[in-house]
C-alpha cells in the first residue's frame, strides 16, 4: 500500500468516523462502573459470494474467463467495549477498520494475471457474548449479532499483459449489513484479559449493484446477489474497568 493510498483511507475514515464514534462513546458512558474497553486486531480470509450468473453482472464481461481460486487476504483492527447484562451474558459493541474483497488472480505459462477487489469499511458490530465457563482463568464463549458497515474506499487492481491498473469501483453500495457468529476464548491476567476470537460474517443485503449496461441472460437468475463473506482470527486485550480504577485512585 503506497503512502497516497493510505492517506486517502485515513481521510475517508476521519470523515465517516464521527457518527459511529459518537455512538461508541455514548455506549461507554451508559454503565461507567462496569464497562470495559479493549483493542482488537487480526487477519481475515475474504470473498464475495455471487449467484449462478457469477461475477459478470457486477465486475463486467471482461472477467468471465477468470475463476475463483483462493480467498483474498484481509485484516481488521479497532476498539471494543463490554457491558455485562446478566451473569454470563455481555453486550459487546465494536468499532473496526476492516479490509475485504476478492482475489481472482491466476498464473499461467504465458502470463500472470492479477485481478483483485479491495474494499475498506468502517465496521460496527453489536454482539451478544455468552460465556460458557467463569470458574477458571480460561473463559470460552459464544458470540453472535448484527453488524453495519460504511464503505470508505473500494479499488479494483488489475494486471493484464504486464500493465498494472488501479481504479475506483463505482457500483459498490455505501453500506453493508450482515450477521456475525463465532467463538471466543478469554484468558485472565492481572491487568485485564487476552481474547482470541474466530468469527464468520455474511452480508444479508447486496453490497454491490450490477454494472451499467449489463443485460441479464434469459435463463439466468432474476434476483441480484452479491454478498460479503469473511472468516477472521483476531486477538485482543480487554482492560479492567478504567472507571472503577479511576474512582479508587480518587
Report whether pLDDT(4) > 80.
no
- Over the stretch 60-103, which tens digit does the pLDDT of each residue have? 877 777 777 789 999 999 999 998 898 889 999 999 999 999 99
Residue 159 vs residue 152, higher pLDDT: 152
Q: Which domains does the chain have, with CATH numbers?
A: 3-63+75-96+122-151+173-249 (2.40.160.20)
Per-position DSSP letters for 59-86, written without gaps between them: H-GGGTT----SPEEEEEEEEEEEEE-S
Residue 240's beta-bridge partner residues? none
pLDDT of residue 68: 76
Three cell numbers written together for 161: 499483459
pLDDT of residue 248: 44
The answer to whether 208 touches 249, Cβ cutoff 8 Å, is no
pLDDT band at 25 (very low <50, low <70, confident <90, very high): low
pLDDT of residue 8: 56
The answer to whether 58 touches 211, Cβ cutoff 8 Å, is yes
Report whether pLDDT(249) > 50.
no
Reported as type and span, the H/E element at residue 141 is: strand 138-160
pTM: 0.82
The answer to whether 48 touches 228, Cβ cutoff 8 Å, is yes
pLDDT band at 57 (very low <50, low <70, confident <90, very high): confident
pLDDT of residue 61: 77
- Over the stretch 185-240, which tens digit does the pLDDT of each residue have? 999 988 889 999 999 999 999 999 888 877 666 555 567 789 999 999 999 999 88
Dist CA 55 CA 63 (whole Å): 8
Task: List the one residue out of 201, 199, 108, 106 whose CA is nearest residue 158.
Answer: 106
- Sign of the C-alpha dihedral computed for residues 211, 217, 223 and 228 taken in this order: negative
- Over the stretch 93-138, which tens digit does the pLDDT of each residue have? 999 999 999 998 887 766 778 889 999 999 999 999 999 987 778 8
Amino acid at each position: 500500500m503506497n503512502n497516497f493510498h493510505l492517506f486517502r483511507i485515513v481521510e475517508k475514515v476521519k470523515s465517516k468516523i464521527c457518527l459511529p464514534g459518537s455512538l461508541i462513546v455514548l455506549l461507554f458512558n451508559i454503565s461507567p462502573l462496569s464497562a470495559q474497553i479493549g483493542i482488537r486486531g487480526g487477519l481475515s480470509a475474504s470473498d464475495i459470494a455471487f449467484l449462478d450468473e457469477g461475477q459478470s453482472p457486477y465486475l463486467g464481461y471482461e472477467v468471465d474467463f477468470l475463476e475463483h481460486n483462493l480467498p483474498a487476504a484481509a485484516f481488521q483492527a479497532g476498539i471494543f467495549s463490554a457491558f455485562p447484562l446478566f451473569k454470563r451474558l455481555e453486550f459487546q459493541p465494536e468499532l473496526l477498520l476492516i479490509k475485504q474483497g476478492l482475489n481472482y488472480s491466476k498464473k499461467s505459462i504465458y502470463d500472470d494475471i492479477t485481478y483483485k477487489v479491495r474494499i475498506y469499511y468502517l465496521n460496527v458490530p453489536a454482539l451478544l457474548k455468552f460465556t460458557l465457563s467463569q470458574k477458571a482463568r480460561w473463559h470460552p464463549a459464544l458470540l453472535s449479532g448484527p453488524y453495519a458497515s460504511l464503505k470508505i474506499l473500494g479499488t479494483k487492481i488489475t494486471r493484464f499483459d504486464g500493465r498494472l491498473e488501479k481504479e475506483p469501483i463505482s457500483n459498490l453500495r455505501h453500506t453493508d449489513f450482515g450477521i456475525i457468529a463465532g467463538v471466543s476464548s478469554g484468558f485472565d491476567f492481572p491487568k485485564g484479559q487476552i481474547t482470541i476470537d474466530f468469527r464468520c460474517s455474511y452480508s444479508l443485503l447486496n453490497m454491490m449493484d450490477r454494472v451499467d449496461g449489463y443485460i441479464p441472460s434469459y435463463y439466468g437468475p432474476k434476483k441480484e446477489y452479491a454478498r460479503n463473506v469473511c472468516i477472521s482470527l483476531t486477538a485482543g486485550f480487554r482492560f479492567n474497568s478504567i472507571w472503577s480504577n479511576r474512582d479508587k485512585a480518587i
